[in-house]
Structure 1
């Protein structure tokens, strides 16, 4: 595992996630190691719902964000400069 995989996700990284993520990404968002994530999934106590797809676990990003206490996407100055935020308020 690389150094980058061990660091928790930043808010900007969380808001750039796809519709669903793998268990490794969700574990990073919570700042936990993979062994803890697998233990929690196995005991049914992972902080948000996981879906088993074959031999892997997937987490809907909306459920991940809700478990992290994030209800809305913040508007960044970069988004306004890029014109992205304008579509949020139209």
Structure 2
């Protein structure tokens, strides 16, 4: 039996997620294993809403961020340096 342990997502990874993610990625954002995530989904107790697409569960990133208590996307210093984000001094 192979045990697969996913490391939790970093803040930067969370803020770079696409519009929706699979259940494994959402579980990583909460720091839980995917089997726990599936059990919670089955009990309708996952921390945020999931959408069933075919045989898979998806989570909208906006719902994931909200469940994590994240209201705004922070601006990282290297994004300012790269010109991706505006600074208050512009």
**TM-score by structure 1 length?**
0.90
Asked if residue 25 in structure 1 is aligned to residue 11 in structure 2, the reply is no
User: 2:52 aligned with 1:52, yes or no?
Assistant: yes
Which stretches of structure 1, 4 residues or more, deviate above 2 A after TM superposition?
Answer: none
Aligned length: 88
The gaps in structure 2 that reach 5 residues or longer are: none
Scaled by the length of structure 2, the TM-score of the pair is 0.90
Superposition deviation, residue 2 in structure 1:
5.0
Aligned residues: CA RMSD: 2.1
Unaligned runs of 5+ in 1: none
Q: Distance in 2 between matches of 1:2 and 1:40?
A: 19
- Which residue matches 1:84? 84
Rg larger in 1 or in 2? 2
Q: Which structure carries more helix by proportion?
A: 1
Equivalent-residue separation in structure 1 for 2:26 and 2:47 (angstroms): 10
